[in-house]
Amino acid sequence: MMAISLTGILLGGFATQRRQAETELNYSAQRLKILHELDQAILATRSLSDIAAAAVAQIAQIIPCTRISLAMFDFEKNEFTLLAIRTDSETLVPEICLPLAAFGKLENLQRGEMNVVQETLASEMPTAAALLLGNQVRAYINIPLIAQGELIGSLNLAKASLGNFPTKLKEVAEQVASIVAIAMQQARLFERIERQALQERSLNQISRTLNSSLDPQGVLCQIVQLTGEYFAVDRVVIFAFTNRQIQVLNEWRMHEEVISMRDFTAPIADWPDLLDPDSDFFCRHFFHAPNYAQEPSTPARLQQIEQAQTLSVLSVPIFVRDQLFGGLSLQTTTTYRTFTSEEINLLQRIAEQAAIALYNARSYESLEEIVQQRTQELEHEKQLSEAANRAKTEFLSNMSHELRTPLTGILGFSSVLIEQVFGILNDKQMQYLELISASGKHLLELINDLLDLTKIETAREELQLEQIFVAEVADACISMLQERAQAQGLQLKLQIAPDVTSCIADKRRLKQILVNLLANAIKFTDFGTVTLDIAQTSTEIQFAVVDTGIGISQEDLAKLFQPFQQLDSGLDRKYEGTGLGLALSRKLAQLHGGDITVQSELRRGSCFTLHLPLREVLSFEFC
């Protein structure tokens, strides 16, 4: 009996061990399955809240607890976010932000160690215990979430009964925490990259919008509006330092209930820290006050803070051409807000873009004022010049008429004397009379040119357009000057292209232009030829007067076609003339709708070309 009982005991012990082994094996298999499912669920999303919800739901299947929660720490903002909570009945994603102090002690977690509390009644509970652990908790454990050596959060397990947490449970919790920490870090990095991309897009949009306007007031309005909409604050103001005062230039408000600061001005003495050469603000840094009322302030400044209901402030300076212009300020009036380093950096970059846009707008406005002032000056100068020209033209016209009357008498009497109607003259007398007559005729030509010039300048000249034969006009001009050319030993040639037959022009004025050009060419040519070469294009007829004369330097070309300008205007002038011929010829050409151009090289000759447009009309009046 004894042997049988011992054998039974041994067999029963082996059976118990086998059942325990099977239970352990099944638990391990289930744990691996759930960890795999957790890994797959985490990989399927990049959202922190979705990762947290999946994590606490999967953990609840392998770790029996009253409450499971997941928290993420932000040491820069000095706060933590409760991402997800799992109870017996549901999974919650509250995403509540609380101060880090409400979480409790973090020393163990920062060392990478668990924080285990076996009896809550004997321990100091954290302020946020009700949210993190629930109201019925008697024991809890905080498992650190470590990623790349940094504490980023905590996995919190709570139960309603006393007692130690099993070692296996802690091992499983650590495994889960490791998977969740990696996933959360990747999600944080992804969100950071997305935020940076959004910031760059927003900054580019703000930059394009600001630089699309050159109105300073419009730029100020766009700065505050775009900045306020991006940061979602209650109020944005842009202020300037002018005349020892701080003045708000423009503002944006989230809604009408936010108190306006649009008309705010105050002595700079109330803000001595902003203009202190050693202050952060003056040194291109920033002013950040999560609780503005607690900042050191003057009584007047505290009163202004209270009146504007300002809770939190972030201000960055605006420097225009290395001079402190003012600042761009984000303000909250409903909740306190701590701005991150990314937000501060973005606001500083917006301020830099704003400075460029303000400089461009102010420069354009200043340039507009200068242009407007200069335009007024030029208009006044133009009026004076036109008045002077009218006076000059009227004077020349009147004088020309007055001179023609006695000159006509001189020419008439000299002509009678030359014909010896009242007696025979000796050779000397005849010589003097011929000189008087020639000088009178020359003076008459000058007076006629002056009258023609004044008529054109006062828009009183009318052209008598008609269809004329080009060869007939050209022959007449050549015949008129042939004797003068031969007297100087020059060959005067005429060349007409076969396709040139007729043109529409004022016959008398066309002959006057060609005679002037030919006479000039003969006058300034000592030897060689003077040629009138006539050709036609699809749009115009070209009358080119080509000579082998003295030519014109590039410096003197600018003086051509100016009335009373002579290129050899020194005391030892060799060539006679008043300089009116070319000026009059060009004005007559322009009156026809054409022009006169010149090509010349010193000591190589010149080519003056009259361009007359081809016309189909037979009448034209200059007005």
How far is it, in rounded angstroms, from Cα 30 to Cα 571?
120
Identify the sign of the CA torsion 300, 301, 304, 309.
negative
Could you tell me which residues are beta bridge partners of residue 228?
none
Show the CA angle centred on residue 59, arms to residues 87 and 21, nearest 5°: 125
**Which tokens go with 53?**
């919800």
C-alpha 257: how far from chain center: 35
How far is it, in rounded angstroms, from Cα 463 to Cα 456?
10
- Identify the residue whose tokens are 């050191």: 296
User: Nearest CA to 404 among 432, 443, 375?
Assistant: 443
Q: What mean pLDDT do residues 223-245 have?
A: 84
Q: How many Cβ atoms sit within 10 Å of the Cβ of residue 552?
A: 20
- Dihedral angle computed from the Cα positions of residues 411, 416, 422 and 425, in that order, rounded to the nearest 10 degrees: 80
Residues 606, 543: contact at Cβ < 8 Å?
no
CATH pick for 208-362 out of 3.30.1490.20, 3.40.50.720, 3.30.450.40, 2.60.120.260? 3.30.450.40
pLDDT bracket for residue 529 (50, 70, 90): very high
Could you tell me which residues are beta bridge partners of residue 491?
529
How far is it, in rounded angstroms, from Cα 38 to Cα 86?
15
How far is it, in rounded angstroms, from Cα 328 to Cα 312?
14
Q: Is the pLDDT of residue 3 over 60?
A: no
pLDDT at 621: 41
pLDDT tens figures, 243-278: 778 888 889 999 889 999 888 888 877 776 666 666
pLDDT bracket for residue 566 (50, 70, 90): low
Mean pLDDT of the chain: 79
How far is it, in rounded angstroms, from Cα 135 to Cα 66?
10
3-class SS shares of the chain: helix, strand, coil, % to 5: 50, 20, 30
Residues 580, 573: contact at Cβ < 8 Å?
no
- Identify the residue whose tokens are 């992804």: 190
Residues 302, 252: contact at Cβ < 8 Å?
no
pLDDT at 364: 62
pLDDT at 398: 67
Q: Is the pLDDT of residue 8 over 60?
A: no
Range with the poorest average pLDDT among 31-35, 130-134, 238-242, 393-397: 31-35
Superfamily classification of domain 465-568+576-613: Histidine kinase-like ATPase, C-terminal domain (3.30.565.10)
Q: What are the Cα distances from residue 125, in Å, to 67, 69, 95, 510? A: 16, 16, 21, 113
Q: Is the pLDDT of residue 377 over 60?
A: yes
Looking at per-residue pLDDT, the higher value among 201 and 212 belongs to: 201
Burial label for 440, CB within 10 Å (0-12, 13-18, 19+), is: buried
Could you tell me which residues are beta bridge partners of residue 499?
none
How far is it, in rounded angstroms, from Cα 11 to Cα 28?
25
pLDDT bracket for residue 153 (50, 70, 90): very high
Exposure of 291 in the CB half-sphere (CA atoms within 13 A)? 1
- Identify the residue whose tokens are 């009318």: 462
Helix (H), strand (E), coil (C) string for 537-602: CCCEEEEEEEECCCCCCCCCHHHCCCCCCCCCCCCCCCCCCCCHHHHHHHHHHHHCCCEEEEEEEC
pLDDT at 511: 87
How far is it, in rounded angstroms, from Cα 290 to Cα 294?
9
Could you tell me which residues are beta bridge partners of residue 595?
611
pLDDT tens figures, 600-612: 888 889 999 999 9
Q: What mean pLDDT do residues 229-253 have?
A: 86
pLDDT bracket for residue 574 (50, 70, 90): low
Q: Give span(s): CATH 3.30.565.10, the chain.
A: 465-568+576-613
How far is it, in rounded angstroms, from Cα 254 to Cα 233?
7
How far is it, in rounded angstroms, from Cα 406 to Cα 349?
84
Q: Which fold has domain 26-192?
A: Beta-Lactamase (3.30.450)
| Residues contacting 6, CB < 8 A, separation 6+ | none
pLDDT bracket for residue 17 (50, 70, 90): low
Q: Give span(s): CATH 3.30.450.40, the chain.
A: 26-192, 208-362
Strands (E), 342-442: none
Burial label for 12, CB within 10 Å (0-12, 13-18, 19+), is: exposed
User: Nearest CA to 543 among 488, 594, 581, 615?
Assistant: 594
User: Which amino acid, residue 19?
Assistant: R
